[in-house]
Structure 1
Amino acid sequence: MKRDAVAYLNTRKKGDFAAQKGDVEDFCKYRFQIVEIFHDHRANATPPEKRKGFSEMLEYCAANNCPDIVIYDLAGLARDPDAGLAALKTMNEHYTVYCVNNDFFGFRDDQEQRRAAIGNFITYMEEYRESGRKTAPPVSKKTKKDDGRPIGRPKALNEGQVEALLTVRQSGTSISQICRMFDVSRSTVSKILADYPELKGEWKGARQEPEE
């Protein structure tokens, strides 16, 4: 028997909603009955808790005792990875979250174990984030300008964020999604993965050389 669920979509381009809605319906075909779809458009820079659609979705779930939430993917929750992780944590405290794309948590038929797996992932990411902050080297006085700003371009990601990036890549997340998740360029991700050839894969949308 299908369980009632809501879907939350956060789109960036025209046409994304129809495409993602179709993917959600295919994902839920034999498992969930989608009772409501909540949608935010071009809100990636806004933390999820401050978006109209996301807030209305949480209010609906609370008012209607709807325990399951389907999202398109983790990378689409927010541009800022910390904001996306916070949103996932908020949802996981009361509901079971399912991802249409790159769902590496498992336990799709066991809500309790799935929420535990998501909770473990959140704890893991938070520990790496905190570790990265603690191990970040202090800026030397010799590297500062007269106005106190550091000289040179700062690193795009600290050590903890790099470890988190490698973890989500190992779980199967695409390079394009990682770029959005960590708000970094393709070249930055390529440099990080240079020492991990098994994780490089192929860039989605890469130009194909003509056959001779």
Structure 2
Amino acid sequence: MKKDAVAYLSTRKRGDMEHHRAIVEEFCKYKFSINRVFTDHRVNSMPPRKREGYGEMLAYCQKHGIKYVLFLNLSSLSRNLDNGLEELKLLLSEEIVPYFAEDDFIANVDDPAARVGDFKNFLAYMNTYREFARKNVSNHVRPASQPKGSIGRPRALNDGQIEALITVRRSGISISQICRMFNVSRSTVSKILADYPELKGEWKGAQSSSEAKSE
């Protein structure tokens, strides 16, 4: 039996709405029945609770007892990682279980209780990493000078930060967000992900060029 759910879509381009909606509907067609779709446009940098469509979605869920919300992906919650993680925590505290049509990094789909447990473990890990990052903020900035006897440029990130970068990329965080989080360039991220082709994604500039040629 399908579970009652709502969908929330946040887009940067008006033309993306129907495309994103089709992806969400394809994801849920055997699992969920979408009661309503709520939307916001060009608000990714705004905390979710300050968005009009998002607020309407939460009020609807509360009024009708909806426990499942479908998003396109994790980054559609917010382009700011701290805001996105805080919103995940709030949703779970309100007994709302989020699902992602793309890059859903939580293995449990059919067991909501187990899924909530996985989310809590993920949030605990990310909170631990954020505390570590705050205490070691100087490690995010390239040192002015290299140690004596070293050859070449200093590393932008240490081993622990590289592991954290790979983890957050697997969770669906965009490369642009990762660059801001770790204070590194896109080329540095590309080098780190060179051994993980499934995580590299497409460069939007290249995609736009190819689309222009086909028109």
Shared fold per TM-score greater than 0.5: yes
Give 3-state SS (helix, strand or coil) of 2:134's partner.
Answer: helix
Matched, 1:109 2:106: no
Deviations 1:40-66 (A, max 9, x none): 100012111111111111111111111
Check the 8 A contact 1:165/1:178 in 2, yes or no. Answer: no
User: Structure 1 or 2: larger helix share?
Assistant: 2
Give 3-state SS (helix, strand or coil) of 1:79's partner.
Answer: coil
User: Which residue, 163, 169, 186 being the options, matches 1:189?
Assistant: 186
Q: How does 1:133-144 map to 2 (within 5 A)?
A: 133-137=134-138
Structure 1 residue 163: Cα displacement = 4.7
Give 3-state SS (helix, strand or coil) of 1:137's partner.
Answer: helix
Aligned to 2:100: 99
Q: Distance in 1 between matches of 2:37 and 2:111?
A: 23
Check the 8 A contact 1:81/1:182 in 2, yes or no. Answer: no
Aligned to 1:31: 31
Aligned to 2:41: 41
- Return the TM-score normalized by structure 1: 0.77
How many residues matched? Answer: 189
Amino acid at match of 1:189: R
Check the 8 A contact 1:6/1:69 in 2, yes or no. Answer: yes
Aligned to 1:75: 75
- Return the TM-score normalized by structure 2: 0.76
Q: Distance in 2 between matches of 1:7 and 1:26?
A: 12
Check the 8 A contact 1:75/1:178 in 2, yes or no. Answer: no
Rate the CA distance shift 1:133–1:31 in 2: closer, same or farther, 3 A.
same
Q: Distance in 2 between matches of 1:183 and 1:44?
A: 15
Check the 8 A contact 2:179/2:185 in 1, yes or no. Answer: no
Amino acid at match of 1:90: L
Sequence identity percentage: 39
Unpaired runs of at least 5, structure 2: 145-155, 211-215
